[in-house]
Amino acid sequence: MIIYLEASALVKRYVEEQGSEQLRRLLNRQSLVATAAITSVELAAALTRGVRGQRLSQQEADLIWQSFQNEWNDFIQVSVGSKVIHQAIECARTYGLRGYDAVHLAAAQFCVTNLVENTLSVVMATFDQELHNAARQAGLDVYPSNL
């Protein structure tokens, strides 16, 4: 199985929040993790907002960033090229998604159509309600099963 992590799920991998423990258990059972290349930008922004909002210290944010950087090359990084962009436009128009959410849905769909072998499936992990609903409507398996 490939677990596709969009930004809200990726943050839970590194920052203790509601749902973090369940996500970590899911990831511990899986060997392949995928995400869009832009997710690194979203994590950097989330950590910076966490420091500004005093939910994280700068030291905590730096340690999380380092941990993420150490694992980044182990992720399947979906390039956001013209094929994914065109699909993201369709996702935005069809499901009314914000820009990066549409890119994540398109990247997860890319994984389904281009990376999956007969023995693998793709599950999109998201804790964003709109994206969760859109992924379900698009026919993807979504974690958590109900949000």
DSSP string, 37-78: TTHHHHHHHHHHHHHHTTSS-HHHHHHHHHHHHHHHTTSEEE
Q: Is the pLDDT of residue 118 over 70?
A: no
Q: Is the pTM of this model over 0.85?
A: yes
Task: Report which secondary-structure segment, H or E, holds 4.
Answer: strand 2-5
pLDDT at 143: 95
CATH topology classification for 2-143: Rossmann fold (3.40.50)
Average pLDDT for 100-115: 94
* Residue % of the chain over a pLDDT of 90: 82
